[in-house]
Amino acid sequence: MASLLFVRIAGGLGAVSLALFFVGLIPFLSANPTAGAGLTGRTPAFSVNHEFKGDRLPLNSAILRAAQRMTGHPREIPVGCDPSFSPISAPALAYIYGRCMS
């Protein structure tokens, strides 16, 4: 009687372990093959708008001088805004600001 119980328990554990093995293989079987080194053939889930990337031209020095003549002196950067240029590396452009908090 004990040997029959042992055979049933061993068979049940074997069936459960085989089922868990195959369940563990499911993610690997459904994965898309890669081209190597983490490259996939799928298109990304997002797109980047490159429409206005070419409009960032450097400012002409004549335009900067005309802007300084109109104001008399360089303007102060508003509170909460980041300067676009360093006053040490480009003092003529130090009053131009980029991002603002508000």
Locate 5 and state its tokens: 């119980």
Secondary structure letter of residue 91 according to DSSP? G
Per DSSP, what are the bridge partners of residue 81?
100
Q: For 49-102, what is each residue's pLDDT tens digit?
A: 777 766 666 667 766 666 666 554 456 677 778 878 887 887 777 777 777 776
Q: Please give the tally of structural domains in the chain.
A: 2
Q: Is residue 51 part of a domain?
A: no
Residue 70: per-residue pLDDT: 54
Q: For 25-56, what is each residue's pLDDT tens digit?
A: 887 777 666 555 555 566 767 787 777 766 66
Tokens 């055979």 — which residue?
7
Q: Is residue 7 part of a domain?
A: yes
Q: Is residue 43 part of a domain?
A: no
Determine the structural domain holding residue 15 and report its residue range: 1-30
